[in-house]
Amino acid sequence: MSDPPDLMDLAYRILDDQLVDVDGRRCGRADDIEFEGGLGEPPRLYAIISGSGSWHRRFPRRLRGIGARVFGNGVSGADVIRVPWDQIDEIGAVLKLKAKARELGLGQGDYREGERVAHWPKS
Amino acid sequence: MKMVLGLALGILAAIGGFVDIGELVFNIQAGASFRYSLLWAVVLGVIAIIVYAEMSGRVAAVSGRPVFDVVRMRMGLNVGLVTLAASLLINLITLAAEVGGAALVLQLLLNFKVGTMILLAAIALVLIVYFVPFDGIERIFGYMGCALLIFVVAAVHLKPDWHQVAQGLVPSWSGSWLYAYFAVGVIGSAIAPYEVYFYSSGAIEDRWTVKDLNFNRVNVTLGFVLGGILSAALIIVSAEVFAPLHISPGYLGTTALGAEQAYGAIGLLLALLGMLFAVGGAAVECAFSGAYSLAQFAGWEWGKYRRKRDAPRFTLTWLIFFALAFVIVETGVDPVQLTEYAVIFSAVALPLTYLPVLLIARDPTYMGEHVNGIVGNVLGWAFFVILLGVSLAAIPLMVITNGGAS
Amino acid sequence: MADDLVRQRTTTTFVRVHGDELSAQAQHEAEKLNDDSIPNDLKARAQDAIKLASEIGGAIDELRTSPQDRGQDRRDWAKLRQWSAEAYRLGNSI
C-alpha cells in the first residue's frame, strides 16, 4: 500500500464502506468509527462500529428516538459490533478484515437466516 | 468470436428486456393522444439511460462498487436511507404493476379469472427465479420478449408519414399540461432506475474489470438504442391505429390491438407473448433490484449467483418483495393505474441515485484514469439538470392532469 | 376489435376477455354519467351519452357471447362504427 492518507481522509474514506472478511464474505458496513486519545493528544482511529444499532446516533436529534426503536438501540454484540482497527487488513473498494466474520461477531443475521434457508430445496 | 456472440446475445436480451409495462402504457397513450410529437422524449430517455447505465457500469468495473454502495458511501447514512426507502417503495409498486400486467396478459391468452391469473403469474415467477439458473432466466425472458419486435414490423407495415415521424424527433411543445405529463411519462419509462441498479450489480457479479469497459459502452449503447427503437415503434403504431379513431388506450389488450391491426391473429399472439415475457422479465429485474438495493445498503451478502444459504437475507428479500406485490395486486388495484404511479414516482426519485453515481464517475480517487472525460462530464451534468427538471415537474403534472385523464 | 373479428383476424379468447373489459368500462361510464350532477344545458346530451354507452356495452357483449356468429358480428360491427362516430361528435359538441 502507498503512504497512508491523513486521518480526515481515512474517516471520509472508510465510513459507510463495505466490510468483507478473510473468506471474501460481505459482513456489514462501517456504520460508525471510534477514536481514542485523551485531551491534548492527537485522536487515533480505534475501532469500526458495525450494525444498524449505531445508526440512530447519526440521525438528526429529533429522529434519534424513533431511529433507536426502529433500527436498534446499540446493544453491543447484538445490533452493534465493535471491530478493532487492527483487524482491518486492507482499505480499498471494501474494508478487508483479517479474520472470519463469525469470529468478529459480524454478519450474524446472514448466519442465522442461512441456517433456516439451508433447509429449503436447492439452497 | 465468443465475445461477439456474447455481445449479440446480450443485446438481444437487452432489446427484449428494455420494454416493460411503463412503455406499454405510456408510449401507447402518448401516440394515441399526440401522434408522433413525443418521439423526442423516447430519444431523450434512451440517451439518459445510456449515460446513467454506462457510468454505473464503469463505476462498478473500476471501483468495484454497485449503485447502492455508491449511494451509501457518497450520500451518507441519512440521505442514503431516504433514497433507499424511496427506491424500495417504487420498486415494490413497479413490481406489483408488472405482476398485475403479466396476469392481465395471461388472462388475454387463456381466459381464466383474473384472480387465478394473478396467483399463477406470481407463483410462476417465483418458481422460475428460485429454480432456474440466472443465465437461463435472462435468456428466456430476454429472447421471448423480442416477440415485441412485431411492433417494429407493424410500425413499418402501417406506412406512417416518415416525414412527420422525423419531425416528432425534434422537441416541441404543444402548450398543454397533458403533453408535458406524457413527456415526463415517456422519459420516466425509459429511465427505469431498477434497470440500472440491476445492471451495475450484474457487473459486480460478473466480476467486470477495466478490460470490460469497452464492452460496457457497446452493450449499453447498442442494447438501449435498439430497445429505444422498439419503444418508439409503440408510439408510431399507436399514432397510426388509435389516434385517427380518437381511441384513448387504457388497457393492455388495446395495446395488443395495434399489432393485430397490422398482422391479424399472428400479430396479436406475438404481441401478447412479447408483452408477457417483457413484463415478466421486468418483474424479475425489479424484485432483484430491490433485494440488491437493500442488501448493498445494509452490507449483507448478496448475489443471484450465490447459493441461497450463503445470501439468505438477499434471497428472503426478493421473495418477500414478490409476496408483497402479490398482495397489492390482489387488492384489485388496476395494474395500468399502478404503472402510472410507478413511472411518475420513479421519475421523482431518479436524481437521488443518479447524482452519487455521477459524482463517483468523475472522482479520480475512485476511478483513476477512467474518470469521466469532458464529454462524459458535460453529458452527465446536462442530464442531471434535465432529470432534475423532470423530477420536479412529475407530481405537479400528475395532479394538474388528474393522472393523464385531462 | 369488432373490425378484426369480422375480418377473422383475431382470436375468440381475446375478444371475450378484452371485450369484457371494454363493455364493463362502457357500463361504468353510463353509471357515472347517470350518478353525476349535470348542468341543465347538458342534460339532454348526457342522456344521449348514457344511451350510447349502454348500447355499445350491449353490442360488445353480443360479440363476446357468440363471436363465431358471422352475421351477428357484422351487424354489431356496423352498429359500433356508427355509435363510435356519434360518441365522438357528442364529445366534441361539449
Quote the minimal CA–CA distance from B90 to chain C in Å.
Answer: 27
pLDDT in tens, B280-321: 999 999 999 999 999 999 999 999 888 999 999 999 999 999
**pLDDT bracket for residue B173 (50, 70, 90):** confident
Who's near B266: CB < 8 A, 6+ residues apart? none
| pLDDT at A39 (0 to 100) | 86
DSSP strands (E only) in B100-140:
none
- Residue-range domain boundaries for chain C: 2-93
Give the sign of the dihedral formed by CA B227, CA B229, CA B232, CA B234.
negative
Euclidean distance between CA atoms B343 and B333, whole angstroms: 16
Which domains, and CATH codes, for chain A? 7-117 (2.30.30.240)
Q: Which chains lie within 8 Å of chain B at 3 or more CB pairs, if any? A: A, C
All three cell numbers of B19: 420494454
Q: Which residues of A touch B317 (CB under 8 A)?
A: none
| In contact, A11 and A85? CB cutoff 8 Å | no
Residue A37 reports pLDDT greater than 90: no
Q: Does residue C4 belong to the interface with chain B, where contact is any CB pair within 8 Å?
A: yes
| pLDDT at B136 (0 to 100) | 87
Q: What one-character DSSP code corresponds to residue A5?
A: P
| In contact, B192 and B95? CB cutoff 8 Å | no
| pLDDT at B137 (0 to 100) | 87
Residue B358 reports pLDDT greater than 50: yes
Q: Which residues of A touch B311 (CB under 8 A)?
A: 110
Q: Which amino acid is at B145?
A: G
Q: What is the mean pLDDT of residues B262-266?
A: 94
Residue B12 reports pLDDT greater than 80: no
* Nearest C-alpha in C relative to B253: C18
Residue B31 reports pLDDT greater than 70: yes
**pLDDT bracket for residue A8 (50, 70, 90):** low
Q: What is the mean pLDDT of residues B353-358?
A: 92
Question: What rounded mean pLDDT belongs to chain B?
Answer: 92
A79: helix, strand or coil = coil
Chain B meets chain C (3+ C-beta pairs below 8 A)? yes
Q: What is the mean pLDDT of residues B369-396?
A: 95
Residue A38 reports pLDDT greater than 90: no
Tell me what percent of the residues of chain A surpass a pLDDT of 90.
67
All three cell numbers of A12: 471520509
Give me the DSSP letters along B272-334.
Answer: HHHHHHHHHHHHHHHHHHHHHHHHHHHT----TTS-TTTSHHHHHHHHHHHHHHHHHHHTT--
Who's near B323: CB < 8 A, 6+ residues apart? none
List A50's β-bridge partners, or say none.
A81
pLDDT in tens, B55-66: 999 999 999 989
Residue C40 reports pLDDT greater than 50: yes
| pLDDT at B139 (0 to 100) | 84
| In contact, A87 and A27? CB cutoff 8 Å | no
Q: Say which CATH topology domain B2-400 has.
A: Amino acid/polyamine transporter I (1.20.1740)
B146: helix, strand or coil = helix
Q: What is the ipTM of this complex?
A: 0.91
Euclidean distance between CA atoms B237 and B228, whole angstroms: 14
pLDDT in tens, A69-86: 999 988 888 889 999 999
To the question of pTM greater than 0.90 for the whole model, the response is: yes
Decide if A26 and B299 are in contact by the 8 Å CB cutoff: yes
Decide if B299 and A92 are in contact by the 8 Å CB cutoff: no
Euclidean distance between CA atoms C56 and B149, whole angstroms: 33
Of the ranges A70-79, B40-49, B255-264, which one carries the lowest mean pLDDT score?
Answer: A70-79
Quote the minimal CA–CA distance from B343 to chain A in Å.
Answer: 29
Q: What kind and span of H or E run contains A89?
A: strand A88-91
Q: What is the mean pLDDT of residues C79-83?
A: 91
**C-proximal residues of B, 243-262, CB under 8 Å:** 245-246, 250-251, 253-254, 256-257, 260-261
| pLDDT at A1 (0 to 100) | 43
**Residue of B258, B176, B214, B191 lying closest to B42 (CA atoms):** B191
Q: What kind and span of H or E run contains A99?
A: none
Of the ranges A2-6, A13-17, B114-118, C28-32, which one carries the lowest mean pLDDT score?
Answer: A2-6
Who's near A4: CB < 8 A, 6+ residues apart? A10
B381: helix, strand or coil = helix
Give me the DSSP letters along B274-290.
Answer: HHHHHHHHHHHHHHHHH
A76: helix, strand or coil = strand
Euclidean distance between CA atoms B263 and A100, whole angstroms: 61
Who's near A57: CB < 8 A, 6+ residues apart? A32, A64, A74
Euclidean distance between CA atoms B122 and B118, whole angstroms: 6
All three cell numbers of A102: 463469525
Q: Does residue C1 belong to the interface with chain B, where contact is any CB pair within 8 Å?
A: yes
Who's near C75: CB < 8 A, 6+ residues apart? none
CA dist C47 to B73, C38, C39, C54, Å?
Answer: 62, 10, 12, 11
| In contact, B297 and B84? CB cutoff 8 Å | yes
Chain A residues whose C-beta is within 8 A of a chain B C-beta are 15-19, 25-29, 31, 50, 52, 55, 58-60, 92-94, 107, 109-110, 113-114, 116-118, 120, 122-123
